[in-house]
Every structure is written in C-alpha cells, then in structure tokens.
Amino acid sequence: MQAKNWTLKAWFGEKCTYDQGKLGRELNNHFHPILLSMPSKSNSTETNSKNAYDIAIIGTGGSGIAAAIYSARFNLKTVVIGEKYGGLIVDTHLVENYPGFVRLSGYDLMQEFKKHVEDYKDKVTLLDASAQHVKKTKNGFEVETSEGKVSARAIILATGTERKKLNVPGEKEYTNKGVSYCATCDSPLFKNKIVGIVGGSDSAVKEGLLLSEYASKVYVIYRGQQVRAEPINMERLKKAKNVEVITNTNVLEIKGEKFISHVILDKPFQGKKEMPLGGLFIEIGHIVRNELAKELGVALDEKGEIIVDKNSNTNVEGVFSAGDVTNRAWKQLITGVAEGCVAAWSAYEYLNGSSTREKK
C-alpha cells in the first residue's frame, strides 16, 4: 500500500508529517467520509420506500461491515449506519493476527473491508450518520439517524464500545493538551518526550510499544500487579529499552499549565509522587455502546453487554447483534467478523419466516 504524507498543524503548534497508515482516526475523520449513497433527509414521521430496507446494521466497524457483505449475498437490501467508518481497529497501528494479512495497520485493513463491501453497492448503502433512536413499528423497526429516518424489517446491532475515561482531575482540561486516548493517532506529537500510558492490557502494551518509537521514555502505569499482554507483545516489551512498567500504581491527578507537565501518583516512584510527563495516554478499557439496545428492550448482562445466543439472536425478535458490544468473551476483529456473518444469516432466516434461535 502506498503511504501518503500529510502535513497537519498539530497540538503544540508544530508542523508534523505523518505516514497515512499510522494516522487512523484523524485521517479517517477528516479525509475519508464514506458515503456510497445516502437516503434523502426526511422530517416526516414515516420513512419513504427509498429509505426502507430489509436490514439496518448499526455500526461500521469490522462486525457491521462483515454482516453487510453477507446480507448483500443473501440478496437483502441493506443499510449500514455508522458514525466512524472502521470502528476501533482503525486506531491500531499494527494488526498481525488477521488471516490473509501478515502485518498491516488497522486503518489499512479496514480500507480492504471497504473495497470489499463497495463491491456490493447495488445492495448495500453505507450511511455516514449517527443512529440516535430506534423503535419497533408495525412492520419492523424505524431508526432515527442524524441524516434522517430509515426503516428496516430487521436490525443488527454492531455498535461496539468506546474508550473509558480515567475520571481524575485534569483529564478533561488536558485532553488534546498532552492527554490522548490514541497512540496510533498522536504518537508523532510526542517525539523525544517522556510520556506515560495508563493501563495493563494487551492494548495498553501495544500502544506503549508504538509510543516508544517516538518518545524518549515511556512509563506504563498500571494499577494491578502485572501487565497482561499477548506473549509476543510481552517479549517486545521486555526488549524495549525505553519502556518501564510501574505496577500497583494509580494516577490521581493530571497537572500542568498550557499543556500537561506532570501527574500525581498514589505512591512514590523514585522517591516522589509527582512524576514529570510531557504526555499521558489512557488505555484502560472500553464502555459498551448499548444505548439503542436499551431502547429496544434488548437484554444486557451485568457489564451492559448484549446477551446473544450462539446464532447472534438477542431476546427481541428481529434484533441481532455482533462484535464487541455482545457478551461473547474474546473480543477481536476476527471474532466480530464471524459474529457479523452469523448475525446476517440469522436475520435472513428470520426474514424468511424461520428462526435460528436456540431452543431452551
């Protein structure tokens, strides 16, 4: 894939040159609106036939796009509604576990998905919009989006998750002034700076390793006893000379003037609770995007995840779900993609008067 260089005015008033593959979210938001065709804006309470679909898939991450490809192959008129094309994976600089692609950025991988779904553009409409409300109607469902209303006979919820906030003083104030939630997007801004990353998961370790290619020093600050990453990433972490892990430690406050200058820890590190930092990345997990599921009366587990059976059925007839938003245990792109495929099949069966629901 040919890398393009983009010059953007960055946070600190500096000009930075980026490699496109590494600049997932920013470029995605600003330069890659995907709109194959869009339903006309409607203020009426009824949707017209142009805006009437067999299936409305909510979420244009990997799970939603996979569901759309299968839905098209089942010959169903499909709309995929998404506010951020590609979903979470586009913020990942390195994907090495998606079969068929040895190593590429999440952004580039989702561009491959885009080419694939565009091949079905006679059946699939990608709508660049936020789905604000959804309700059951006599003939199916109505989705109110930021671009007007659409109706569908079945719904697939593939709404994924959003990043958790640390919720400490200074976090809001210094967001985009040294506090970031995406190393893939922002690492180049921290060249030769000392930075911290809060978190102890595989994602946090991966983000820390990427940061270490730019920053002079990276502290991985984790509240637990031991960071937990895939063995291959743990090996890389051990080998990285400028990455240091601090365990059993919390960040209590973020301080600075115009930009972040330091954080306050809950226990001393090298004799001090005050830790000078030129940047702080937060990678502490995700919150389930279940607002629409709640509106439809879809059953959720104690974590707020959508409860699905093995065929991606929810408890509500005509509503299916796939990917990170569900209560399935192992959340990866490939598992979401597989679930999207199953959800499309179950929706197809449902529309044909059969059910894939597991018998109790």
Q: Using CB under 6 A, list all residues that contact ligand FAD.
A: 58-64, 81-84, 87-89, 92, 95, 97-98, 130-131, 158-161, 203, 206-207, 289, 292, 323-324, 331-334, 336
> Considering beta carbons, is residue 22 or 206 the nearer one to ligand FAD?
206
> Considering beta carbons, is residue 181 or 256 the nearer one to ligand FAD?
181
> Considering beta carbons, is residue 261 or 311 the nearer one to ligand FAD?
311
DSSP state of 324: G
- Rg, Å, the chain Cα set: 22
Q: Which residues of 5-30 are buried (b: 16+ CB within 10 A; e: fewer)?
A: eeebeebeeeebebebbbbbbbbbee
| Both structure tokens of 71 | 């839905």
For residue 219, list its beta bridge partners: 196, 244
User: Considering the complex, what minimum distance in angstroms separates the CB of residue 285 from ligand FAD?
Assistant: 9
User: Considering the complex, what minimum distance in angstroms separates the CB of residue 138 from ligand FAD?
Assistant: 23
User: Considering the complex, what minimum distance in angstroms separates the CB of residue 130 from ligand FAD?
Assistant: 4
> Considering beta carbons, is residue 107 or 262 the nearer one to ligand FAD?
107
| Both structure tokens of 102 | 């040895």
Distance CA 100, CA 130 (A): 31
User: Considering the complex, what minimum distance in angstroms separates the CB of residue 87 from ligand FAD?
Assistant: 2
User: Considering the complex, what minimum distance in angstroms separates the CB of residue 359 from ligand FAD?
Assistant: 27
Backbone CA torsion sign across 187, 24, 234, 266: positive
> Considering beta carbons, is residue 20 or 60 the nearer one to ligand FAD?
60
DSSP state of 95: B
User: Considering the complex, what minimum distance in angstroms separates the CB of residue 261 from ligand FAD?
Assistant: 26
Q: Check if the beta carbon of residue 247 is closer than 8 Å to that of residue 269.
A: no
Distance CA 322, CA 337 (A): 8
Q: Check if the beta carbon of residue 292 is closer than 8 Å to that of residue 159.
A: yes
User: Considering the complex, what minimum distance in angstroms separates the CB of residue 212 from ligand FAD?
Assistant: 15
> Considering beta carbons, is residue 81 or 263 the nearer one to ligand FAD?
81
Distance CA 250, CA 228 (A): 17
Backbone CA torsion sign across 214, 218, 223, 224: positive
> Considering beta carbons, is residue 241 or 329 the nearer one to ligand FAD?
329
